[in-house]
A and B are shown apart, each in its own frame.
Chain A
Amino acid sequence: MNDASPAHLSPEVILQQLKQHGVTHVVWLPDSETNWLYLLMQAEPALTLVAVPREGLACSVAAGLVTGGKVPVILIQNTGLMESGDSIRGWLFGLDIPVVIMVGLRGWTRHGVTQDTAAVYTEPFLNAFRINYYLVESDADAQRISVAFDEAKRTKRPVAVLVGDEYHGFNG
Protein backbone atom coordinates (compact mmCIF):
# COMPACT_ATOMS: atom_id res chain seq x y z
CA MET A 1 0.00 0.00 0.00
CA ASN A 2 1.24 3.44 -0.84
CA ASP A 3 1.85 5.66 2.18
CA ALA A 4 0.11 8.63 0.66
CA SER A 5 -3.61 8.50 0.21
CA PRO A 6 -4.49 9.93 -3.19
CA ALA A 7 -7.92 11.03 -2.08
CA HIS A 8 -8.78 13.75 0.40
CA LEU A 9 -11.53 14.34 2.88
CA SER A 10 -13.34 17.47 1.78
CA PRO A 11 -14.74 19.86 4.35
CA GLU A 12 -17.84 20.15 2.19
CA VAL A 13 -18.46 16.45 2.69
CA ILE A 14 -18.09 16.78 6.46
CA LEU A 15 -20.50 19.70 6.48
CA GLN A 16 -23.01 17.78 4.39
CA GLN A 17 -22.91 14.95 6.92
CA LEU A 18 -23.53 17.35 9.79
CA LYS A 19 -26.52 18.84 8.01
CA GLN A 20 -27.86 15.45 7.03
CA HIS A 21 -28.00 14.43 10.68
CA GLY A 22 -29.63 17.60 11.92
CA VAL A 23 -26.65 18.96 13.79
CA THR A 24 -27.48 22.31 15.37
CA HIS A 25 -24.29 23.12 17.27
CA VAL A 26 -20.61 22.41 16.70
CA VAL A 27 -18.80 22.44 20.04
CA TRP A 28 -15.17 22.60 19.24
CA LEU A 29 -11.61 23.57 19.78
CA PRO A 30 -9.76 24.01 16.50
CA ASP A 31 -7.04 21.60 15.55
CA SER A 32 -4.47 21.70 12.82
CA GLU A 33 -5.80 22.40 9.36
CA THR A 34 -9.47 22.74 10.18
CA ASN A 35 -9.71 26.30 8.96
CA TRP A 36 -11.44 25.35 5.71
CA LEU A 37 -14.10 23.56 7.67
CA TYR A 38 -14.32 26.50 10.05
CA LEU A 39 -15.01 28.93 7.24
CA LEU A 40 -17.72 26.69 5.84
CA MET A 41 -19.34 26.17 9.22
CA GLN A 42 -19.30 29.89 9.90
CA ALA A 43 -21.17 30.49 6.69
CA GLU A 44 -23.79 27.82 7.43
CA PRO A 45 -26.82 29.46 9.05
CA ALA A 46 -28.16 26.19 10.47
CA LEU A 47 -25.06 25.73 12.64
CA THR A 48 -24.05 27.53 15.80
CA LEU A 49 -20.35 27.31 16.59
CA VAL A 50 -19.46 27.08 20.26
CA ALA A 51 -15.74 27.41 20.86
CA VAL A 52 -14.36 26.12 24.15
CA PRO A 53 -10.87 26.71 25.52
CA ARG A 54 -10.44 23.18 26.92
CA GLU A 55 -11.87 20.04 25.34
CA GLY A 56 -13.39 18.52 28.45
CA LEU A 57 -15.76 21.45 28.57
CA ALA A 58 -17.09 20.44 25.16
CA CYS A 59 -18.57 17.32 26.74
CA SER A 60 -20.58 19.17 29.37
CA VAL A 61 -21.70 21.85 26.87
CA ALA A 62 -22.86 19.07 24.56
CA ALA A 63 -24.66 17.34 27.44
CA GLY A 64 -26.56 20.55 28.18
CA LEU A 65 -27.47 21.02 24.54
CA VAL A 66 -28.77 17.47 24.23
CA THR A 67 -30.74 17.81 27.45
CA GLY A 68 -32.38 20.87 25.92
CA GLY A 69 -33.27 19.03 22.72
CA LYS A 70 -30.48 20.10 20.39
CA VAL A 71 -28.08 18.01 18.31
CA PRO A 72 -24.45 18.92 18.91
CA VAL A 73 -21.32 17.43 17.46
CA ILE A 74 -17.98 17.69 19.25
CA LEU A 75 -15.01 18.54 17.04
CA ILE A 76 -11.63 18.24 18.73
CA GLN A 77 -8.13 16.90 18.26
CA ASN A 78 -6.96 13.60 19.71
CA THR A 79 -4.83 15.45 22.26
CA GLY A 80 -7.97 17.10 23.60
CA LEU A 81 -9.87 13.84 23.53
CA MET A 82 -7.39 12.42 25.99
CA GLU A 83 -7.64 15.50 28.17
CA SER A 84 -11.41 14.99 28.30
CA GLY A 85 -11.47 11.59 29.96
CA ASP A 86 -13.37 12.38 33.13
CA SER A 87 -15.85 14.60 31.30
CA ILE A 88 -16.54 11.83 28.81
CA ARG A 89 -17.12 9.46 31.70
CA GLY A 90 -19.34 11.74 33.75
CA TRP A 91 -21.13 14.02 31.33
CA LEU A 92 -21.49 11.79 28.27
CA PHE A 93 -21.62 8.19 29.48
CA GLY A 94 -23.05 9.18 32.85
CA LEU A 95 -26.01 10.99 31.34
CA ASP A 96 -26.58 8.70 28.32
CA ILE A 97 -25.70 11.47 25.88
CA PRO A 98 -25.83 10.42 22.23
CA VAL A 99 -23.15 12.49 20.53
CA VAL A 100 -20.61 12.10 17.78
CA ILE A 101 -17.08 13.19 18.64
CA MET A 102 -15.08 14.01 15.54
CA VAL A 103 -11.44 13.65 16.39
CA GLY A 104 -8.60 15.08 14.37
CA LEU A 105 -6.11 12.22 14.37
CA ARG A 106 -2.89 14.16 14.78
CA GLY A 107 0.14 12.11 13.93
CA TRP A 108 -1.77 9.44 12.01
CA THR A 109 0.13 7.78 9.22
CA ARG A 110 -1.09 5.09 6.90
CA HIS A 111 2.20 3.23 6.96
CA GLY A 112 2.03 2.47 10.67
CA VAL A 113 5.30 4.15 11.64
CA THR A 114 3.85 6.64 14.07
CA GLN A 115 6.19 9.03 15.80
CA ASP A 116 3.63 11.36 17.34
CA THR A 117 2.48 9.99 20.70
CA ALA A 118 -0.86 11.73 20.23
CA ALA A 119 -1.65 9.18 17.53
CA VAL A 120 0.00 6.31 19.39
CA TYR A 121 -2.32 6.64 22.38
CA THR A 122 -5.58 7.58 20.65
CA GLU A 123 -6.97 4.14 19.88
CA PRO A 124 -5.87 2.62 23.21
CA PHE A 125 -7.63 5.55 24.92
CA LEU A 126 -10.84 4.98 22.98
CA ASN A 127 -10.70 1.27 23.70
CA ALA A 128 -10.12 1.88 27.40
CA PHE A 129 -13.22 4.08 27.49
CA ARG A 130 -15.14 1.58 25.36
CA ILE A 131 -15.91 4.27 22.79
CA ASN A 132 -16.63 2.78 19.40
CA TYR A 133 -14.92 4.59 16.53
CA TYR A 134 -14.78 4.85 12.78
CA LEU A 135 -11.85 6.03 10.71
CA VAL A 136 -12.43 8.39 7.80
CA GLU A 137 -9.58 9.30 5.48
CA SER A 138 -11.29 10.42 2.30
CA ASP A 139 -14.64 11.37 0.85
CA ALA A 140 -15.24 7.73 0.07
CA ASP A 141 -15.41 7.06 3.83
CA ALA A 142 -18.04 9.71 4.50
CA GLN A 143 -20.77 7.13 5.00
CA ARG A 144 -18.98 6.05 8.17
CA ILE A 145 -19.89 9.41 9.66
CA SER A 146 -23.53 8.52 9.14
CA VAL A 147 -22.92 5.17 10.78
CA ALA A 148 -21.50 6.98 13.80
CA PHE A 149 -24.47 9.34 14.08
CA ASP A 150 -26.95 6.47 13.79
CA GLU A 151 -25.06 4.41 16.36
CA ALA A 152 -24.85 7.28 18.85
CA LYS A 153 -28.59 7.86 18.56
CA ARG A 154 -29.44 4.17 18.86
CA THR A 155 -27.13 3.42 21.78
CA LYS A 156 -27.33 6.78 23.61
CA ARG A 157 -23.57 6.81 23.83
CA PRO A 158 -20.73 8.89 22.44
CA VAL A 159 -19.27 7.50 19.23
CA ALA A 160 -16.01 8.76 17.73
CA VAL A 161 -15.09 9.52 14.14
CA LEU A 162 -11.33 9.57 13.68
CA VAL A 163 -10.39 11.98 10.93
CA GLY A 164 -7.25 10.46 9.49
CA ASP A 165 -6.74 13.09 6.89
CA GLU A 166 -7.13 16.16 9.08
CA TYR A 167 -9.18 17.52 6.20
CA HIS A 168 -6.28 18.28 3.87
CA GLY A 169 -3.43 15.96 4.48
CA PHE A 170 -1.01 16.48 7.32
CA ASN A 171 0.27 13.01 7.29
CA GLY A 172 3.94 13.54 6.64
Chain B
Amino acid sequence: MFHTADMLKAFNPYRGDAIVVPGRGGRHWIKISDQPGLDLPLGDPAMGGHAAFAFGLALALPHRKVVLFDSEGDVQMGLGILLTVAEHKPENFYHFMLDNECYATTGGQPVPNAKNIAYDLLARGAGYPRVFAFDELAALTAALPAILGQPGPVFVAMKVHADVENKPITQRTKWQTRTRVQVIADFRKHLGIAA
Protein backbone atom coordinates (compact mmCIF):
# COMPACT_ATOMS: atom_id res chain seq x y z
CA MET B 1 0.00 0.00 0.00
CA PHE B 2 1.31 3.48 -0.80
CA HIS B 3 0.31 7.14 -0.65
CA THR B 4 -1.55 8.70 -3.54
CA ALA B 5 0.73 11.74 -3.58
CA ASP B 6 3.84 9.54 -3.85
CA MET B 7 2.28 7.60 -6.70
CA LEU B 8 1.42 10.78 -8.59
CA LYS B 9 4.97 12.04 -8.12
CA ALA B 10 6.26 8.76 -9.54
CA PHE B 11 3.88 9.04 -12.49
CA ASN B 12 4.65 12.63 -13.42
CA PRO B 13 8.02 12.03 -15.17
CA TYR B 14 6.32 9.57 -17.51
CA ARG B 15 3.36 11.77 -18.29
CA GLY B 16 4.64 13.25 -21.54
CA ASP B 17 1.91 15.39 -23.03
CA ALA B 18 -0.95 13.25 -21.75
CA ILE B 19 -4.18 14.79 -20.59
CA VAL B 20 -4.67 13.98 -16.90
CA VAL B 21 -8.03 13.63 -15.17
CA PRO B 22 -6.85 13.32 -11.56
CA GLY B 23 -10.20 12.41 -10.01
CA ARG B 24 -9.97 12.18 -6.25
CA GLY B 25 -6.20 12.60 -6.50
CA GLY B 26 -6.73 16.17 -7.66
CA ARG B 27 -5.74 17.78 -4.37
CA HIS B 28 -2.27 16.27 -4.73
CA TRP B 29 -1.95 16.48 -8.49
CA ILE B 30 -2.40 20.25 -8.74
CA LYS B 31 0.75 20.63 -6.62
CA ILE B 32 2.72 18.16 -8.73
CA SER B 33 1.70 18.84 -12.31
CA ASP B 34 3.77 21.25 -14.37
CA GLN B 35 1.28 21.25 -17.25
CA PRO B 36 -1.96 22.59 -15.76
CA GLY B 37 -3.32 23.36 -19.21
CA LEU B 38 -3.58 19.63 -19.83
CA ASP B 39 -5.14 18.84 -16.46
CA LEU B 40 -8.81 18.47 -15.63
CA PRO B 41 -8.99 18.61 -11.82
CA LEU B 42 -12.76 18.55 -11.57
CA GLY B 43 -13.04 17.22 -8.04
CA ASP B 44 -16.21 15.19 -7.80
CA PRO B 45 -18.96 16.51 -10.08
CA ALA B 46 -21.09 13.43 -9.34
CA MET B 47 -19.85 10.15 -7.94
CA GLY B 48 -19.37 7.24 -10.30
CA GLY B 49 -18.83 9.21 -13.49
CA HIS B 50 -15.10 9.90 -13.69
CA ALA B 51 -14.33 6.94 -15.95
CA ALA B 52 -17.18 7.73 -18.29
CA PHE B 53 -16.05 11.36 -18.52
CA ALA B 54 -12.44 10.45 -19.25
CA PHE B 55 -13.56 7.79 -21.72
CA GLY B 56 -15.66 10.38 -23.57
CA LEU B 57 -12.67 12.68 -23.64
CA ALA B 58 -10.50 9.88 -25.04
CA LEU B 59 -13.04 9.26 -27.80
CA ALA B 60 -13.12 12.95 -28.63
CA LEU B 61 -9.33 13.35 -28.72
CA PRO B 62 -8.02 10.07 -30.10
CA HIS B 63 -4.54 11.43 -30.79
CA ARG B 64 -3.95 12.41 -27.16
CA LYS B 65 -3.27 10.08 -24.27
CA VAL B 66 -5.90 10.44 -21.56
CA VAL B 67 -4.82 9.29 -18.11
CA LEU B 68 -7.49 8.92 -15.43
CA PHE B 69 -6.95 8.43 -11.71
CA ASP B 70 -10.26 6.88 -10.73
CA SER B 71 -11.23 5.51 -7.33
CA GLU B 72 -12.68 2.18 -6.29
CA GLY B 73 -15.81 3.81 -4.84
CA ASP B 74 -16.44 5.50 -8.18
CA VAL B 75 -15.76 2.30 -10.09
CA GLN B 76 -18.17 0.38 -7.88
CA MET B 77 -20.87 2.97 -8.51
CA GLY B 78 -20.33 3.14 -12.27
CA LEU B 79 -19.07 -0.37 -12.92
CA GLY B 80 -20.91 -0.70 -16.20
CA ILE B 81 -18.66 1.81 -17.94
CA LEU B 82 -15.93 -0.83 -18.00
CA LEU B 83 -18.05 -2.67 -20.57
CA THR B 84 -18.47 0.40 -22.74
CA VAL B 85 -14.76 1.19 -22.61
CA ALA B 86 -13.89 -2.38 -23.50
CA GLU B 87 -16.28 -2.34 -26.45
CA HIS B 88 -14.67 0.76 -27.96
CA LYS B 89 -11.10 -0.04 -26.86
CA PRO B 90 -9.73 3.51 -27.08
CA GLU B 91 -6.00 3.05 -27.51
CA ASN B 92 -5.34 6.39 -25.84
CA PHE B 93 -7.15 5.60 -22.58
CA TYR B 94 -5.16 4.78 -19.44
CA HIS B 95 -7.41 3.94 -16.52
CA PHE B 96 -5.64 4.00 -13.15
CA MET B 97 -7.70 3.31 -10.03
CA LEU B 98 -6.94 4.30 -6.44
CA ASP B 99 -8.23 1.65 -4.05
CA ASN B 100 -8.24 2.82 -0.43
CA GLU B 101 -10.98 0.31 0.45
CA CYS B 102 -13.26 3.00 1.83
CA TYR B 103 -15.30 6.14 1.27
CA ALA B 104 -12.60 8.47 2.51
CA THR B 105 -14.56 11.66 1.93
CA THR B 106 -17.43 10.56 4.16
CA GLY B 107 -15.40 9.37 7.11
CA GLY B 108 -13.72 6.17 5.95
CA GLN B 109 -16.59 3.69 5.94
CA PRO B 110 -15.65 0.56 3.96
CA VAL B 111 -16.91 0.12 0.41
CA PRO B 112 -18.86 -3.11 -0.16
CA ASN B 113 -16.61 -6.14 0.12
CA ALA B 114 -13.71 -3.73 0.51
CA LYS B 115 -10.81 -6.11 1.01
CA ASN B 116 -11.80 -8.92 -1.30
CA ILE B 117 -12.20 -7.46 -4.78
CA ALA B 118 -9.81 -8.04 -7.66
CA TYR B 119 -10.60 -4.92 -9.67
CA ASP B 120 -8.03 -5.84 -12.29
CA LEU B 121 -9.92 -9.07 -12.90
CA LEU B 122 -13.20 -7.18 -13.12
CA ALA B 123 -11.66 -5.03 -15.84
CA ARG B 124 -10.22 -8.07 -17.55
CA GLY B 125 -13.57 -9.79 -17.45
CA ALA B 126 -15.23 -6.70 -18.89
CA GLY B 127 -12.86 -6.89 -21.82
CA TYR B 128 -9.90 -4.58 -21.08
CA PRO B 129 -7.01 -6.10 -23.00
CA ARG B 130 -4.33 -5.13 -20.45
CA VAL B 131 -4.77 -5.02 -16.69
CA PHE B 132 -2.43 -4.67 -13.72
CA ALA B 133 -2.60 -4.56 -9.94
CA PHE B 134 -0.01 -3.06 -7.60
CA ASP B 135 0.32 -2.70 -3.85
CA GLU B 136 3.96 -1.57 -3.83
CA LEU B 137 5.07 1.73 -5.28
CA ALA B 138 8.46 0.45 -6.45
CA ALA B 139 6.84 -2.21 -8.59
CA LEU B 140 4.38 0.27 -10.06
CA THR B 141 7.12 2.80 -10.79
CA ALA B 142 9.18 0.18 -12.57
CA ALA B 143 6.21 -0.84 -14.68
CA LEU B 144 5.02 2.65 -15.64
CA PRO B 145 7.12 2.99 -18.82
CA ALA B 146 5.71 -0.26 -20.16
CA ILE B 147 2.16 0.53 -19.05
CA LEU B 148 2.19 3.97 -20.67
CA GLY B 149 4.34 2.95 -23.62
CA GLN B 150 1.80 0.55 -25.07
CA PRO B 151 -1.67 1.19 -26.44
CA GLY B 152 -4.68 1.26 -24.17
CA PRO B 153 -7.14 0.70 -22.91
CA VAL B 154 -5.31 -0.42 -19.82
CA PHE B 155 -6.59 -0.75 -16.26
CA VAL B 156 -4.25 -0.36 -13.29
CA ALA B 157 -5.55 -1.09 -9.80
CA MET B 158 -3.48 0.39 -6.98
CA LYS B 159 -3.78 -0.10 -3.23
CA VAL B 160 -3.39 3.28 -1.52
CA HIS B 161 -3.67 4.64 1.99
CA ALA B 162 -6.90 6.42 2.78
CA ASP B 163 -6.85 10.18 3.30
CA VAL B 164 -9.92 10.11 5.48
CA GLU B 165 -11.84 13.35 5.95
CA ASN B 166 -14.09 13.55 8.95
CA LYS B 167 -14.97 17.22 9.01
CA PRO B 168 -18.31 18.49 7.79
CA ILE B 169 -18.01 19.51 4.16
CA THR B 170 -18.42 23.18 4.98
CA GLN B 171 -15.39 23.05 7.31
CA ARG B 172 -12.99 21.42 4.87
CA THR B 173 -10.19 23.28 3.16
CA LYS B 174 -10.97 23.74 -0.50
CA TRP B 175 -8.09 22.65 -2.70
CA GLN B 176 -9.59 23.75 -6.00
CA THR B 177 -8.18 27.01 -7.26
CA ARG B 178 -10.57 27.23 -10.23
CA THR B 179 -14.21 26.43 -10.74
CA ARG B 180 -15.01 23.32 -12.77
CA VAL B 181 -16.36 25.42 -15.59
CA GLN B 182 -13.14 27.46 -15.61
CA VAL B 183 -11.03 24.28 -15.61
CA ILE B 184 -12.78 23.10 -18.75
CA ALA B 185 -12.59 26.52 -20.39
CA ASP B 186 -8.85 26.70 -19.71
CA PHE B 187 -8.35 23.16 -21.02
CA ARG B 188 -10.22 23.85 -24.23
CA LYS B 189 -8.36 27.08 -24.77
CA HIS B 190 -5.04 25.34 -24.22
CA LEU B 191 -5.86 22.74 -26.85
CA GLY B 192 -7.48 25.20 -29.24
CA ILE B 193 -10.91 23.59 -28.99
CA ALA B 194 -13.61 26.03 -30.08
CA ALA B 195 -16.10 26.99 -27.38
Contact pattern, A 69-111, Cβ under 8 Å of B = 1, otherwise 0: 1101000000000000011011100111000000000000000
In B36-82, the 8 Å CB interface with A consists of 40, 42, 44-61, 78, 80-81
**Of the residues A60, A68, A87, contact of B60 by C-beta under 8 Å:** A68
How many residue pairs, one in A and one in B, have C-beta atoms under 8 Å apart?
A: 118
Distance of A155 from chain B, by nearest CB (Å): 13
Could you mark each residue 37-71 of chain A with 1 if its beta carbon is under 8 Å from any beta carbon of chain B, else 0? 00000000000101111101111111111111110
Size of interface on B: residues with Cβ below 8 Å to A: 35
Is there contact, CB below 8 Å, between B60 and A50?
A: no
A54 and B80 form a contact (CB under 8 A):
yes
Asked if B194 lies at the interface with its beta carbon under 8 angstroms from chain A, I say: yes
User: Which residues of the other chain, A, contact B61 by a CB distance below 8 angstroms?
Assistant: 68-69
Question: Would A48 and B49 count as touching, CB distance under 8 A?
Answer: no
Contact of B49 among A66, A69, A87 (CB under 8 A): A87
Partner of B46, one of A50, A65, A68, A86: A86
Q: Are A50 and B81 in contact (CB under 8 A)?
A: no
Is B181 engaged at the interface, CB distance under 8 Å to the other chain? Answer: yes
> Which of the residues A53, A61, A95 comes within 8 Å of B180, measured between beta carbons?
A95
Do the beta carbons of B45 and A53 come within 8 Å of each other?
Answer: no
Taking the complex as formed, is B88 at the interface, i.e. its CB lies under 8 A from any CB of chain A?
A: yes
Residue numbers in B under 8 Å from A157 (CB-CB): none
Decide: A90 and B45 in contact? CB cutoff 8 A.
yes
Residues of A whose CB lies within 8 Å of any CB of B are: 25, 27, 48, 50-54, 56-70, 72, 86-87, 89-91, 94-96
